[in-house]
Amino acid sequence: MPLGLLKYGFASKYPARRDIPAPKDLNKSYDVVIIGAGGHGLSTAYHLARYHGITNVAVLDKGYIGGGNTARNTAVVRSNYISPEAVAFYKASVELFKNLANELGYNQMYSQRGQLTLAHSDASVRTFTLRAEVNKHLGVRSEMVDRKQIREIVPCLNMGKNMRFPIQAGLWHRDGGTARHDSIAWGYAMRAAQMGVEIHQRTEVTGVNINAGKVTAIETNRGTIQCNHAIQAVAGMSSVVAKMAGIQLPIRSYPLQAMVTQPVKPFLDPLVSSAGLHAYVSQTARGEIVIGGGSDPYELYSTRSTLDLKESLIAHTLELFPFFAELKLLRQWAGITDMTPDYSPIMGESPVKNYWLDAGWGTWGFKATPISGKCMAETIAQEKTAAMIQPFHLDRFKTFKLSNEAGATAASH
Amino acid sequence: MDTQINRLPASTGLYVDHNESITFSFEGKNYTGLAGDTIASALAANNVWLLSRSFKYHRPRGVMSMAGLEADTLVQLDGEPNVAADRRKITPNLQVSGQNYNGSLEKDKNANMGAFSKFMPVGFYYKAFFRPKGIWQKFWEPVVRKRAGLGKIDFNSPHSYFDKCYKFCDVAVIGSGPAGLSAALIAAKAGTEVILIEQESLLGGSLNYSRFDAEGKVASATRNELLEAVVAQPNIEVLTNAVCNAWFADNWLPIIQGNRMYKLRAKEMVLASGKMEQPAIFHNNDLPGILLGSAAQRLIRLYAVRPGQRAVILTANDDGYATALDLLENGVEIAAIADLRPSPIATPIYEQINNNGVSIFAGHTVYAAAARSDKNHIQSVELREIIGQGQCKNESKHFDCDLLCVSIGFTPTYQLALQSGGKISYDDETARFSISQLPKSFHLAGAVNGFNKLSSLLDSGNQTGKAVCDNLGLDTKGITSQQTMSSTSNTYGNHPWPIFPHPKGKEFVDLDEDLQYADIVNACKDGYSEIELVKRYSTVGMGPSQGRHSALATARLVANETQRSVAEVGVTTARPPFRAEKLGVIAGRSFEPERLTAIHHRHKELGAQMITAGVWWRPGYYGQPKNRDQCIRDENLVIRNNVGLIDVSTLGGLEVRGPDAAEFLNRMYTFAYAKQKIGMSRYLLMTNPAGTIIDDGVACRFSDEHFYVTATTGGVDNVYRTMLWWNTQWRLDVDITNVTAAYAGINIAGPNSREVLHKVCNDIDLSPEGFPYLAVREGTVAHIPARLLRVGFVGELGYEIHVPASQGEALWDALLEVGKEHNIQPVGIEAQRLLRLEKGHIIVSQDTDAMTTPQEVRMTWAIAKKKPFFVGGRSLQLIDNHPSDRKLVGFIIEASQNESPKESNIILDGNNIVGHITSVAYSPSLNKIIGLAFAKADTEPGMQISIKLSSGMVIQAQVVEMPFYDPENKRQEM
Same domain, B568 and B552: yes
Q: Are residues B625 and B718 in the same domain?
A: yes
Q: Indicate whether A328 belongs to any domain.
A: yes
Look at A101 and B155 and tell me if their CB atoms are within 8 Å.
no
Cα separations in angstroms, A320 against A168, A313, B799: 13, 11, 42
Answer whether A1 touches B (CB < 8 Å).
yes
Is residue B689 domain-resident?
yes
What is residue A411's predicted lDDT score, i.e. its pLDDT?
A: 44
Listed residues B157, B176, B205: the one ending a domain:
B157
A320 and A302 assigned to the same domain? yes
User: Is B483 contained in some domain?
Assistant: no
State the average pLDDT over residues A6-18: 89
| Chain B residues with beta carbon closer than 8 angstroms to that of A342 | 850-851
A401 with B156: Cβ contact below 8 A: no
Say yes or no for a CB contact (<8 Å) between B532 and A306. no
A160 touches chain B (CB under 8 A): no
Alpha helices in A202-298 (DSSP H): 238-244
Candidates A106, A126, A332; nearest CB to B904:
A126
Instruction: Quote the minimal CA–CA distance from B77 to chain A in Å.
Output: 11
B371's enclosing H/E stretch is: strand B364-371
> Looking at the structure, do residues A164 and A260 belong to the same domain, yes or no?
yes
pLDDT of residue B300: 98
| Inside any domain, residue A122 | yes
**Partner B contacted by A183 (CB < 8 A):** yes
Alpha helices in B642-741 (DSSP H): 661-668, 716-730
Binary contact (B149, A265; C-beta < 8 A): yes
One domain, residues B347 and B386: yes
In a domain, A8, yes or no: no
Are residues B862 and B766 located together in one domain of the fold? yes
Asked if residue B491 is part of any domain, the answer here is no
What are the angstrom distances between the C-alpha of B632 and each of A294, B605, B638, B824, B825? 37, 18, 10, 15, 12
Contacts with A111 from chain B: Cβ below 8 Å: 136-137, 141
CATH number at residue A380: 3.50.50.60
Tell me the chain A residues in contact with residue B136 when contact means C-beta distances shorter than 8 Å: 101, 107, 109-111
**Number of structural domains, chain A?**
2
Which residues of chain B are within 8 Å of residue A121 when distances are taken between CB atoms?
A: 612
End-to-end CA distance of chain A: give it in Å, rounded.
35
- What would the pLDDT profile of A380-412 be if each residue is shown by its tens digit? 999 999 999 999 999 999 988 988 888 676 544
Q: Are A302 and A330 part of one and the same domain? A: yes
- This model of the complex carries an ipTM of 0.96
Give the closest of A9, A330, A341 to B580, CB-based.
A330
Question: Measured in whole angstroms, how far is the alpha carbon of residue B469 from the centre of its chain?
Answer: 34
Residue A87 belongs to some domain of the structure: no
> Is B492 a member of any domain?
no
Q: Are B404 and B417 within one domain? A: no
Say how far apart CA A394 and CA B15 lie, in whole Å.
Answer: 66
Same domain as A143, residue A229? no
**Same structural domain for residues B289 and B329?**
yes
Q: What is the pLDDT of residue B477?
A: 87
Task: Confirm whether B590 is domain-assigned.
Answer: no
C-alpha pair distances (Å), B853 with each of A130, A401, B371, B847, B885:
20, 12, 75, 11, 12
CATH number of the domain encompassing residue A157: 3.30.9.10
Q: Tell if the CB–CB gap between B587 and A98 is shorter than 8 Å.
A: no
Cβ–Cβ gap B580/A262 under 8 Å: yes
Is A4 close to B131, i.e. CB distance below 8 A? yes
Closest Cα to residue B235, out of B173, B166, B164, B177?
B173
CB A350 within 8 A of CB A247: yes
Q: Which residues does chain A have within 8 Å of residue B575's beta carbon, measured at their own beta carbons?
A: 305, 331-333
d(CA B517, CA B368): 14
Residues A257 and A314 in one domain: yes
- The mean pLDDT values, 10 residues at a time, for chain B of 974 residues are 88 96 97 98 98 96 96 95 97 97 95 89 93 92 91 88 97 98 97 98 97 92 96 97 97 98 98 98 98 98 98 96 97 98 93 94 98 97 98 98 97 97 94 96 97 93 97 90 59 89 97 97 96 97 95 98 95 94 94 92 97 92 97 97 98 98 98 97 96 96 98 96 97 98 97 97 96 97 98 94 98 98 97 97 94 94 95 94 94 86 97 97 94 97 96 96 94 89
Query: With an 8 Å Cβ cutoff, is A265 touching chain B?
Result: yes
Size of interface A-B (CB pairs under 8 A): 296
Question: Is residue B963 reached through a cis peptide bond, with omega within 30 degrees of 0 on the bond before it?
Answer: yes
Q: Are residues A237 and A267 in the same domain?
A: no
Q: Are A133 and B948 in contact (CB under 8 A)?
A: yes
The answer on A378 and A284 residing in a single domain is no
Contact criterion met (CB below 8 Å) for B902 and B813 = no
* Distance separating alpha carbons of residues B907 and B965, to the nearest angstrom: 24
Residues B972 and B799: beta-carbon distance below 8 Å: no
By C-alpha distance, the chain A residue nearest B918 is: A126
Residue B211's domain is classified under what CATH number?
3.50.50.60
Asked if the structure places residue A9 within a domain, the reply is no
Q: Where is the domain boundary, A305, A337, A369?
A: A337
Q: Find the closest chain B residue to A267 by CA distance.
A: B153
A16 domain-assigned: no
Domain that includes residue B250, residue range: 163-276+412-471
Residue A107 forms part of a structural domain: no
Residue to substitute from B130, B582, B832, interface A, most A β-carbons within 10 A: B130
Question: What pTM does this model have?
Answer: 0.95
> What whole-number distance in Å separates Cα of residue B838 and Cα of residue A248?
46
User: What average pLDDT is seen over chain A?
Assistant: 95
* Mutation target among B520, B533, B932 for the A interface, most CBs of A within 10 A: B533
Judged by DSSP in three states, A173 sits in: strand
Domain boundary among B157, B184, B207: B157
Mean pLDDT of A21-31: 96
DSSP summary character for residue B136: I
Can you state the percent helix, strand and coil of chain A, rounding each to 5?
A: 35, 25, 40
Point out the domain boundary residue: A337, A353, A388.
A337
Q: Which of residues 28-57 of A touch B (CB under 8 A)?
A: none
Report, in this order, helix, strand and coil percent for chain B, each rounded to 5.
25, 30, 45
A198 and A171 within one domain: no
The H-assigned helical ranges of B783-922 are 808-818, 829-838, 873-880
Pairwise CB contact (< 8 Å): A6 & B586: no
Q: Is residue B684 located within the same domain as residue B806? A: yes
What does the pLDDT read at residue B974? 85
pLDDT reading at A55 higher than 90: yes
- Domain shared by A133 and A225, yes or no: no
| SS3 category, A147 | helix
In DSSP notation, B941-959 reads TT-EEEEE-TTS-EEEEEE
Q: Are A82 and A127 in contact (CB under 8 A)?
A: yes
- A400/B126 touch (CB, cutoff 8 Å), yes or no: no
Indicate whether B849 belongs to any domain: yes
Q: Report in angstroms the alpha-carbon separations of B543 from A77, B122, B515, B629.
A: 25, 15, 11, 55
Residue of B nearest to A334 (CA): B575
Burial annotation B239-278 (CB, 10 A radius, 16+ → b, else e): beebbbbbbbeebebbbbbeeebbbbebbbbbbbbbbbbb
**pLDDT score, position A408:** 72
- Does B123 lie in the same domain as B49? yes
For the purposes of burial, counting CB atoms within 10 Å of the CB of B150, is it exposed (0-12), middle (13-18) or buried (19 or more)?
buried
The reply to whether A279 falls in a domain is: yes
CATH number where B522 lies: 1.10.10.1100
Residues 6+ apart with CB under 8 A from A320: A118, A157, A158, A272, A274, A277, A279, A281
Chain center to CA of B846? 32
The answer to whether the Cβ–Cβ distance between B587 and A342 falls below 8 Å is: no
- Predicted confidence at residue B489, as pLDDT, reads 52
Please count the structural domains in chain B.
6
B339 and B375, same structural domain?
Answer: yes
C-alpha dihedral sign at A360, A366, A367, A372: positive
Rg (CA), chain A: 21
Residues A154 and A299 in one domain: yes
For chain B, how many helices (H) and strands (E)? 24, 49
B665 and B808 share one domain: yes
- Within A24-66, where are the H helices? 39-52
The whole-angstrom separation of Cα B295 and Cα B292 is: 5
Q: How many residues does chain B have?
A: 974
pLDDT score recorded for residue B490: 58
CATH code assigned at B13: 3.10.20.440
CA-angle at B960, arms to B957 and B963, nearest 5°: 125
Is B500 inside a domain boundary? no
Shared-domain flag, residues A195 and A262: no
Q: Is the peptide bond before B577 cis (omega within 30 degrees of 0)?
A: yes
A149 & A286 share domain: yes
B304 inside domain = yes
**Domain limit, last residue, from A284, A318, A337:** A337
Contact status, residue B943 vs residue B931, Cβ threshold 8 Å: no
Q: Which domain holds residue A195?
A: 23-73+182-250+342-408
Q: Among candidates A245, A250, A243, A214, which has minimal Cα distance to A229?
A: A214
